Amino acid sequence: MKRRTFLTAGAAALAGSVLPAHSARAGKARGRVVVVGGGFGGATAAKYVKLLAPEVEVTLVEQNREYHTCPFSNLVLGGELPLSGVRHGYGALSSRYGVRVVHSAAAQVGEGKVVLADGSEVAFDRALVSPGIDFHFDKMPGYSAALAEKIPHAWKAGAQTALLRRQLEAMPDGGTAVILPPANPFRCPPGPYERAGMFAHYFKKAKPRAKVLILDAKEKFSKQPLFEEGWALHYGEMIEWRSAEAGGKAEALDAKTMTVETEFGEEKADVINYIPPQRAGQIAHDSGLTEGDWCPVNTITFESTLRPGVHVIGDSCVAAKMPKSGFSANSQGKAAAAAIVRALSGEEPIAPSFANTCYSFVTPSHGISVAAVYRSDGKAIQSVEGAGGVSPKEAGADFRRREADYARGWYRAITADMFY
Ligand SMILES: Cc1cc2nc3c(=O)[nH]c(=O)nc-3n(C[C@H](O)[C@H](O)[C@H](O)COP(=O)(O)OP(=O)(O)OC[C@H]3O[C@@H](n4cnc5c(N)ncnc54)[C@H](O)[C@@H]3O)c2cc1C
C-alpha cells in the first residue's frame, strides 16, 4: 500500500465511527435505555445515547467499579506500563453525561427489564448488550476455569494481567514462556503476537537467555509479515512461531509438570499463556441472544435478529468482516446509539460507516497497524474497497516510531471518547 493512502486511511479511522450528521437530530427521543457492560462498546453507547438525546434515561449496568483495557495491557506484561496505566473509572459518565451507573452483575435481559444478580430489575424501552467474551474452558484436555489461576489467559485485563506479569518476573533466565493463541474468530487477532514481542522486550533486558515459543492453532495470523520482520530485527531467535501444521497445535496441557502436549511431542514451559477459544459473554447466552457461540444482529442497527428491542455490539456480535476489537466496538457503539435514538423517535435507521485501526507494538518504539473502513450492505458488514491497508514492510525506524506514537495517541483518544 502506498504511504499516502495509508496515512489518509489512518486519519479517517482515527476520527472514529462515522455517524451521518443528521443522525444527531433526535430531539424528540424519549424513553429508557439500559446498557449492559461498560467496556469499549457499552461505555461508548451509553455516553452517545446521552449526547444524541439528553432526555433519554440511560442506565449502564457494569459489574466492576473499574475497567482495565485490554489494549495496552501487553505493555503492562512487557514492564512498560503499570496496571494503573490501563485503568479507567465511570465517574465522568455519570457526573458529566448524566448516565446512571449501576455496579452490579446483570443476570438476564428479560422482556422490558434487565434482571440484576440481586433480583432487582431495571426497566427499559430499548436495551443494548456489550458483555465482551467468555471462554470455552473445557476444549483443552488438562485445562479448566480454576487452572486460569496457574495458567493465566490474561485475555480479560486486570487481575489476570497482573498474575501473568508476576509469572514472567519470576521466570528464570534461560526459561521458556509458551503462548497458545486460539483459532479464529477471537478477540483481537494481532493480540497474541504483540504479546510475544512484549515478552521478548522484557526478556531482552532482564533474562537474555529466555525464549518465547508460540504454539499456534492456526496456519497464519494478522500482520504476520510485519511481526516476523520486526521480531527478527529486534529479538533475533528469541521468538519462535510454530503453525498448527508444523506442530503448533496443542492437544493437552499438564499444569503440574508445566508441559504442553502437541502432535509432535512435548514442550516443557516455565510460563504458559493459554488463550482459550471464545464465545459471546455469558449473559448473551442466558438471554436468548446467541446462535451457537455469537449473537446475530441487524448490521445497520445492531438489533438482535432473535430478540427485537435488544441490541448487541462489540465482541459478542457477528459483525464480520469487522474484527473483534475495541475500536470496532467503539465504532459500533456510536452506530447503535444513533439507531436506538432514532427508533425511540419513531424514525428510520440510517446506514452508518464504521472504522477500525488495530495498532500493535513490536517494541515500545516500533509500531505497526492495519486500518479499514466498513459499510453494511444490509445483510453483512463489508470492507470499503480502497480504504485502509497495512503498514509497509521495510519501513525505517522513524516510520515505526511514528506509528508507535500514533498508537499512544489512539489510546488516549479512544479512552477519552469512552470514559471522559
Ligand atoms: C491483549 C489484548 C490486546 C488488545 N488490544 C487491542 C487494541 O490495541 N486495539 C483494539 O481496538 N482492541 C484491542 N483488543 C480487543 C478489545 O479489548 C476488545 O475487542 C474490546 O474490549 C471489546 O469490547 P466489548 O465492549 O465487546 O467488551 P469489553 O470491553 O470486554 O467490555 C465488556 C464489559 O461488560 C462487563 N460485563 C460482562 N458481563 C456482564 C454482566 N452480566 N453484568 C454486568 N457487566 C458485565 C464486563 O465487566 C466488561 O466491563 C485487545 C484485546 C486483548 C485481549
pLDDT digits 0-9 by tens, 234-254: 999 999 999 999 999 999 999
Q: Tell the residue nearest (CA) to atom 19 of ligand 1.
A: 325
pLDDT mean across residues, the chain: 94
pLDDT at position 27 is 56
Output the CA torsion 69→75→76→78 (10° steps). Answer: 150
Cα 132 to averaged position of ligand 1 atoms, centre (Å): 5
Averaged pLDDT, 12-32: 59
Percent of the chain predicted with pLDDT > 70: 94
Residue 418 has pLDDT above 70, yes or no: yes
User: In which region does residue 99 sit, left (phi positive, over 0), alpha (psi from -120 to 50) or beta (all else)?
Assistant: beta
Q: Tell the residue nearest (CA) to atom 53 of ligand 1.
A: 155
Per-residue pLDDT band at 14 (split at 50, 70, 90): very low
Cα 49 to averaged position of ligand 1 atoms, centre (Å): 20
Residue-wise pLDDT tens digits, 324-381: 999 999 999 999 999 999 999 999 999 999 999 999 999 999 999 999 999 999 899 9
Choosing from 17, 40, 165 the residue with most ligand 1 atoms within 8 A of its CB, the one to mutate for a pocket test is 40
Cα 396 to averaged position of ligand 1 atoms, centre (Å): 33
Choosing from 44, 64, 67, 70 the residue with most ligand 1 atoms within 8 A of its CB, the one to mutate for a pocket test is 70
Cα 43 to averaged position of ligand 1 atoms, centre (Å): 11
Cα 413 to averaged position of ligand 1 atoms, centre (Å): 17
β pairing state of 278-280 and 133-135: antiparallel
Among 60, 58, 49, smallest CA distance to 23 is for 49
First to last CA, the chain: 35
Answer for the pair 287, 108: CB distance below 8 angstroms, yes or no. Answer: yes
Contacts (Cβ under 8 Å, ≥6 apart) of 211: 175, 176, 177, 203, 238, 239, 240
397/405 Cα distance (integer angstroms): 12
Per-residue pLDDT band at 29 (split at 50, 70, 90): confident
Instruction: Say whether 42 sits in a helix, a strand or coil.
Output: helix
Please report where in the chains the cell 494481567 appears, as a residue. 161
- Residue 47: its H or E element: helix 40-52
- pTM of the full predicted structure? 0.95
Q: Tell the residue nearest (CA) to atom 29 of ligand 1.
A: 39
Domain 137-274 has CATH 3.50.50.60: yes
232/336 Cα distance (integer angstroms): 42
Weakest mean pLDDT among 13-17, 85-89, 273-277, 333-337: 13-17
pLDDT at position 163 is 98
Q: Tell the residue nearest (CA) to atom 31 of ligand 1.
A: 39
Burial class of residue 137 in the structure, from the number of CB atoms within 10 Å of its CB (0-12 exposed, 13-18 middle, 19+ buried): middle
Residue 215 has pLDDT above 60, yes or no: yes
Cα 129 to averaged position of ligand 1 atoms, centre (Å): 12
Contacts (Cβ under 8 Å, ≥6 apart) of 118: 104
Residue-wise pLDDT tens digits, 145-201: 999 999 999 999 999 999 999 999 999 999 999 999 999 999 999 999 999 999 999
pLDDT at position 18 is 53
Weakest mean pLDDT among 15-19, 39-43, 110-114: 15-19
3-state secondary structure the chain: CCHHHHHHHHHHHHCCCECCHHHHCCCCCCCEEEEECCCHHHHHHHHHHHHHCCCCEEEEEECCCEEECCCCHHHHHCCCCCHHHHEEECHHHHHCCCCEEEECCEEEECCCEEEECCCCEEECCEEEECCCEEECCCCCCCCCCHHHHCCCCCCCCCHHHHHHHHHHHHCCCCCEEEEECCCCCCCCCCHHHHHHHHHHHHHHHHCCCCEEEEECCCCCCCCHHHHHHHHHHHHCCCEEEECHHHHHCEEEEECCCCEEEECCEEEECCEEEECCCEEECHHHHHCCCCECCEECECCCCCEECCCCCEEECHHHECCCCCCCCHHHHHHHHHHHHHHHHHHHCCCCCCCCEEEEEEEEEEECCEEEEEEEEEEECCCCEEEEEEEEEECCCCCCHHHHHHHHHHHHHHHHHHHHHHHC
Q: Tell the residue nearest (CA) to atom 17 of ligand 1.
A: 70
138/136 Cα distance (integer angstroms): 6
Cα 72 to averaged position of ligand 1 atoms, centre (Å): 12
Cα 209 to averaged position of ligand 1 atoms, centre (Å): 34
Cα 195 to averaged position of ligand 1 atoms, centre (Å): 17
CB atoms within 10 A of CB 330: 28
Q: Tell the residue nearest (CA) to atom 21 of ligand 1.
A: 326
Domain residue ranges in the chain = 137-274
Cα 347 to averaged position of ligand 1 atoms, centre (Å): 31
Answer for the pair 326, 72: CB distance below 8 angstroms, yes or no. Answer: no
Choosing from 44, 283, 315 the residue with most ligand 1 atoms within 8 A of its CB, the one to mutate for a pocket test is 315
Cα 190 to averaged position of ligand 1 atoms, centre (Å): 15
Q: How much is the CA Rg of the chain, to the nearest whole Å?
A: 21
28/280 Cα distance (integer angstroms): 34
**What residues flank ligand 1, with Cβ below 6 Å?**
36-42, 61-64, 67, 70-71, 73-74, 105-106, 130-132, 155, 187-188, 191, 281, 283, 314-316, 324-327, 329, 358-359
pLDDT at position 76 is 98
- Of the two residues 5 and 75, the one the predictor is more confident about is 75
Residue 1 has pLDDT above 60, yes or no: no
Choosing from 187, 295, 328, 408 the residue with most ligand 1 atoms within 8 A of its CB, the one to mutate for a pocket test is 187
Residue 386 has pLDDT above 50, yes or no: yes
